[in-house]
Amino acid sequence: MMRRGSDTQAKTGRKAPGAGVRRPAEDVRRRAASEEALTCSRFPQQSTVAQEAAPTAHALWRVVRMDKTMMSGRLRSLGLALGQDLLLLQLWDHDGCTQSELVDRLGLDPSTVTKMLQRMERDGWLTRARSDDDGRASIVTLTAAGRGLRERVTALWRDLERETLKTLSDDEQRQLRTLLGKVEAGLQPAT
């Protein structure tokens, strides 16, 4: 059985009237989600085969997966999808950069970045405009609403860091950053 909105969309290519309109109950749920403690409710299970084949890579994957799970709901409470925070972090450092510069900075496929930008532009977080210098280039600029998310998103990142590393001492956290920096450098292409 199809829902009414899906049926209307399938027949006309448009959403049903009122589809996508936020209701007061949704606002309450969003506020509650943003105030919840940052915890992971779903844990990826260890795989014996993965543990034997690549124990460190598998451990890193599980930690990253749990971090993504913890961030996803909190970002949704701000009206963002997972990954859009990373794009915003780049724009807060380099507002007014080109779309291709964002692709390079994020290390993502151009089509993925294009979809993210389209959605974020639709949601009012940023604008895109043709460059005056190069008509082929698209300049990405934060709106006031996009700039206004900075403190809330960086607070989520601080919470994520605190929750992820809560069992490590300050010295162990420094060691971990050093070791991960070495791993990252080893994965970079030789120049």
141-171 pLDDT per residue, tens: 999 999 999 999 999 999 999 999 999 999 9
- Measure Cα distances from 2 to 13, 15, 21, 140 in Å: 15, 13, 19, 38
Q: Label residue 92 by pLDDT band (50, 70, 90).
A: very high
Q: Name the least confident of 11-15, 56-60, 86-90, 100-104.
A: 11-15
Sign (positive or negative) of CA dihedral 126, 87, 82, 109: positive
pTM over 0.85: no
Structure tokens at 109: 């496929």
Residue predicted with more confidence, 111 or 16 = 111
* Four-way CATH pick for 56-165: 1.10.10.10, 3.30.70.380, 3.30.420.40, 3.40.50.720: 1.10.10.10
Q: Name the least confident of 62-76, 87-101, 104-118, 169-183.
A: 62-76
Structure tokens at 105: 């900075």
Is pLDDT at 190 greater than 90 in this prediction?
no
Is pLDDT at 129 greater than 60 in this prediction?
yes
- Report whether 177 contacts 165 (CB < 8 A): no
Sketch the domain layout of the chain as residue ranges.
Answer: 56-165
